[in-house]
Amino acid sequence: MHSRVKMQDVAQDAQVSVATVSRVLNGTQRVSDALRARVMASVEKLGYFPNIVAQSLRMHRSFVLGVVIPNISNPHFTDIVRAVEDVALASGYVITACSSDQDLAKEQRYMQVLRDRMADGVLVSVADSQASDVSPLIDSGMPVVLIDRRLEGVSLDSVTVDTKGGAHAAVAYLVGRGYRRIGMIGGPDGVSTAADKLQGYRQALADLNLPKDDSLCLQGDYTEASGYALGCQMLDMADRPDAVLVANGLMTLGFSTAVKQRGLRIPHDMAFIGFDESRWADLLVPPVSRVVQPTYELGQVATEMLLERLEGRYTGKARHRSLPTSLIIRGSC
């Protein structure tokens, strides 16, 4: 049985002090890139890994970041978690990802678990922008950053996307292409991104002097099934729209299926623009036009904010960052 490699062994191999190895591994003080590379080369060569339990007790840190998101099967949130993990690992942390499934009770349970297991900080994309409760985390003194969605009544660092502007730009583009009867399949009540997209859609209609028709605005739940069901409902209208804005990637996929099942030609009989960057969007025939959100950057910026709080590099008032969308036009409109 091989004996466990110790920090002293790494220091001897790298020809540095034990204190230097500790600084490199803990990130408590800055060291030169060359010195860091030398120490990490020895770490990899010797197969050293720190005693996390002892390290956590000594530093009163768990080196774990929590991530609470509404739906891990939604590619939008999968990409966010990927970014969180990348930034966390590069800074010496691991993550615990929790999917609330848009359920407030389940979300609350995860908050309590992360608090009780002493995560160092938590990123939260709330299930409901008014009813969600992050007080178990805040009351414990844990740094919290809101990601993707707002939460009313709290003052916390947050990173969101300008989905209102993205929806406005999509509708304006459709109007510029000659479409006049434009519908929307939106997201659920209580979700700030859904409210912002709806507001952007309605504001664009008003700005462009198009009549408001609530019958053309249907409410989904950000799932593929709801995109399909509401797509069927919209397409079966006696006076259906000639173009539709769909509020997220999964619903866009469901809506596209409904259009094709009815034998409608895209975009001649029905044009549409979806939300979110989806890997399948360019594989459909024709490829789907979409409002792209910078999901990886969203996770990246939010994690960096959290680490700045956690490591004492920022102690000021709550910061709010809004990232821009981009409109990618393909064959669906």
146-172 pLDDT, tens digit per residue, is 999 999 999 999 999 999 999 999 999
Q: Which of 51-60, 146-155, 211-220, 268-277 has the lowest mean pLDDT?
A: 51-60
Q: How far apart are CA 21 and CA 36, in angstroms?
A: 8
Which residues, listed in sequence order, are joined to residue 275 by a DSSP beta bridge?
A: 291
Give residue 60's pLDDT: 61
**Is the confidence at residue 142, as pLDDT, over 60?**
yes
Give residue 250's pLDDT: 92
Q: How far apart are CA 32 and CA 38, in angstroms?
A: 10
Work out the average pLDDT over 255-270.
93
The pTM of the full predicted model, rounded to 2 decimals, is 0.80
Give residue 251's pLDDT: 95
How far is CA 227 from its chain centroid? 20
Q: Positive or negative CA dihedral for 95, 62, 88, 151? A: positive
Give residue 2's pLDDT: 43
Q: How far apart are CA 273 and CA 210, in angstroms?
A: 18
39 to each of 2, 49, 51, 59, 86, how far by Cα in Å? 22, 13, 17, 21, 21
Q: How far apart are CA 178 and CA 293, in angstroms?
A: 25
Bridge-based pairing of strands 94-99 and 121-124 is: unpaired
Give residue 20's pLDDT: 83
Q: How far apart are CA 5 and CA 49, in angstroms?
A: 8
Q: Which of 50-59, 136-145, 247-256 has the lowest mean pLDDT?
A: 50-59
pLDDT by residue (tens digit) across 275-325?
987 766 666 768 889 999 999 999 999 999 999 999 889 999 999 999 999
Bridge-based pairing of strands 157-161 and 144-147 is: parallel
- pLDDT band at 50; cut points 50, 70, 90: low
